[in-house]
Chains A and B, each alone.
Chain A
Amino acid sequence: MGNALLQYATVLMLTIFVGIEIIAKVPSILHTPLMSGSNAIHGVILVGSMLVLGSANTTPETILGFLACILATLNVVGGFVVTDRMLEMFKAKPKTAAAKKDEVAS
């Protein structure tokens, strides 16, 4: 068991606390976009897929790595686009509605 493993374990432990701390107080309307956003973030497995495909020596490795790259790209791209589309609905629209009301009132 090398120093590297210990270092990774340290990162793991600290990140667990960060992950829990960071979303402790999220309003329920944001649960779904948050789930979708974190879904996109674990698409970082694309980097891992690139590394295994990039170091593949045999045909089976190449095929598996290639498939992994496709799936991971789907995860990343799909994840971010879906999240953005969800959040698009939350953007300035309510503000403009409020602004209109103010205009009428004034």
Chain B
Amino acid sequence: MSRGTLIDLLYLVSATTFILALKGLGSPKRARLGNIIAAVGMLIAVVATFFKQVDGHSLHHVALILIAMAIGVVIAVPTARFVQMTAMPQLVAIFNGVGGGAAALVSITEFVHIHSSRPATYVTLEVLLGVLIGTVSFSGSAIAFAKLQELMTGRPVTYPGQQVLNAIFGLAGLVVIIIILVNGQTLLLWILLIISFILGIAFVLPIGGADVPVLISLLNSFTGLAVAASGFTLGSNLLIVAGTLVGASGILLTRLMSKAMGRSLSNVLFSAFGSVITASAGGADQRPVRSGSPEDAAVLLSFASRVAIIPGYGLAVAQAQHVLRELAEELEAKGIDVFYAIHPVAGRMPGHMNVLLAEANVPYEQLLELDEANSEIQTADVALVVGANDTVNPAAKDDKTSPIYGMPIINADMAENVLFFKRSMRPGFAGIENELLYNPKTTLVFGDAKDTLTKIVAAVKAS
């Protein structure tokens, strides 16, 4: 077997591991194994590439390649290892962005490399698509990162004529691609690069913070397609398979995620969700609310026989998951039945709460998914809302003018009493007023979730 064939065979193995890995990632039991399988496959592919012949010679600049990899590893490992769990969505965004950037750079480099040899039109087209999609993914992910990291507002950024302008940018990109295809102007490649960069930013700006995870999934899919385009240019089946896998599954995943929020993908992308201040919310600010001390909350909890805990992003921010579990254990010791109602999009990414609570050693069987939680919550004496807001907002059921109308929520208002932990009266991430706060069943406990919970644990212990 020649060296080339052997390398192609190893690439085939690698591509197979990626398929197996994606399959594994779809089931809780094999997910971790799946990820490791993909990592092994990636290692095989990278090592094999070192022995590959390109343009009839072995790889140049091997030292540079190794240096670049070393730099990448030195930056990536500590970042990925030690960043707070709450910052995970940002990390995924940024690692996706650099992947898109790499795909665009590969396409540009290949364009520079083959340009003098007057490549066939379809080769140029592949390159240009790689540049366009890769760059959009890069700049889009950067904005998504900035939104999640709160370097900029998480609210949708809108301006007059936004949709039209975006459409013009998109068209301009297409026109430039066509001109390059027709007369092969290298200079125009840089213009395409700039247009793609702006397009990525313009595309992401109007998308509200709560929708960013869906967006990241879509950009992830884009990067996959950019990689597939590079695969065409470089003539690599491995890149085509891996890129297309991610591209295709990513689009489906994006749809599944927006479905979990009860919205359509186009609604997520183009509706500037959360920017509308609804009429019903306008006069709501001045209404009275009932607030209580942590001790009041402790009494209420101690006399309950069934407590539903509804966690949200605020729990992650306050890093209060351990205290929360402690409270749940104290209550259980008193013979109170406790369960957690997990909304599929609670937190900043689906599964965020599961990860967070698993970290605090909360037993899996106590975590109920939306439907089950809603049927159980009717029998609960207290619904304890910790850091959640939009996912318990009854406006999603009642208020047709609300931007979240139609999103499935956890029916906290079906419980006998509602305890709502809040830092302030500020509306949630989506920027929508929450009627539940004014419900006569609701007692608000203001303050940092962790402090509040610590005080309640002490009070419950003492009683």
A97 contact set on B, CB distance < 8 A: 361, 363-364
Q: Does the CB pair A56–B68 fall under 8 Å? A: no
Question: For residue B95, which residue of chain A has the nearest CB?
Answer: A78
CB of A1 within 8 Å of the partner chain:
yes
A44 contact set on B, CB distance < 8 A: 14, 18, 42, 45, 227, 238-239, 242-243
Q: Which of B120, B230, B235, B253 contacts A26 (CB 8 A)?
A: B253
Interface centre among B35, B76, B110, B352 (most CB of A within 10 A): B35
A26, B110: Cα distance in complex, Å: 37
Interface size class of B (residues with CB under 8 A): 35 or more
CB of B174 within 8 Å of the partner chain:
no
Q: Does the CB pair A71–B105 fall under 8 Å? A: yes
**Stretch from B53-61, B272-280, B440-448 that touches the partner:** B53-61
Interface size class of A (residues with CB under 8 A): 35 or more
Interface centre among B81, B91, B352, B359 (most CB of A within 10 A): B91
Whether A85 touches B80, Cβ cut-off 8 Å, given contacts A35-B250, A52-B110, is yes
CB of B72 within 8 Å of the partner chain:
yes
Q: Does the CB pair A64–B99 fall under 8 Å? A: no
Q: Does the CB pair A62–B61 fall under 8 Å? A: yes
A84, B355: Cα distance in complex, Å: 12
A42, B55: Cα distance in complex, Å: 25
**Stretch from B213-221, B284-292, B301-309, B385-393 that touches the partner:** B213-221
Q: Does the CB pair A32–B352 fall under 8 Å? A: yes
CB distance from B187 to the nearest CB of A (A): 14
Q: Does the CB pair B102–A45 fall under 8 Å? A: yes
CB of B236 within 8 Å of the partner chain:
yes
Whether A19 touches B21, Cβ cut-off 8 Å, given contacts A39-B96, A50-B59, is no
A35, B227: Cα distance in complex, Å: 16
B55 contact set on A, CB distance < 8 A: 55
A87 contact set on B, CB distance < 8 A: 31-32, 35
A34, B228: Cα distance in complex, Å: 19
Q: Does the CB pair B32–A91 fall under 8 Å? A: yes
CB distance from B393 to the nearest CB of A (A): 19
B89 contact set on A, CB distance < 8 A: 32
Q: Does the CB pair B245–A73 fall under 8 Å? A: no
Q: Which of B52, B79, B256, B365 contacts A98 (CB 8 A)?
A: B365
B238 contact set on A, CB distance < 8 A: 44, 47
Cβ proximity bits A26-45 to B, threshold 8 Å, 1 near / 0 not = 11111111111111111111
Q: Which of B28, B106, B230, B245 contacts A41 (CB 8 A)?
A: B245
Whether A42 touches B260, Cβ cut-off 8 Å, given contacts A27-B28, A71-B98, is no
Since A20-B252, A44-B42 are in contact, a sample of 7 more A-B pairs with Cβ atoms closer than 8 Å, ordered by chain A residue number, is: A19-B22, A28-B351, A41-B38, A51-B59, A81-B80, A85-B81, A86-B88
Closest 6 CB pairs of A and B: A73-B72, A19-B248, A54-B59, A94-B364, A69-B68, A75-B99
Residues of chain B having any CB pair with chain A under 8 Å = 14, 18-19, 21-23, 25-28, 31-32, 34-36, 38-39, 42, 45-46, 49-50, 52, 54-55, 58-62, 64-65, 67-69, 71-73, 75-77, 79-81, 88-89, 91-92, 94-96, 98-99, 101-103, 105-106, 108-110, 112-113, 120, 122, 213, 216-217, 220, 223-224, 226-228, 230-232, 234-250, 252-253, 256-257, 260, 342, 344, 349-352, 354-356, 358-359, 361, 363-365, 369
Residues of chain A having any CB pair with chain B under 8 Å = 1, 4-5, 8, 11-12, 15-20, 22-58, 60-62, 64-91, 93-94, 97-98, 101
5 A-B pairs within 8 Å (CB atoms) are namely A26-B26, A48-B236, A53-B61, A53-B109, A98-B364
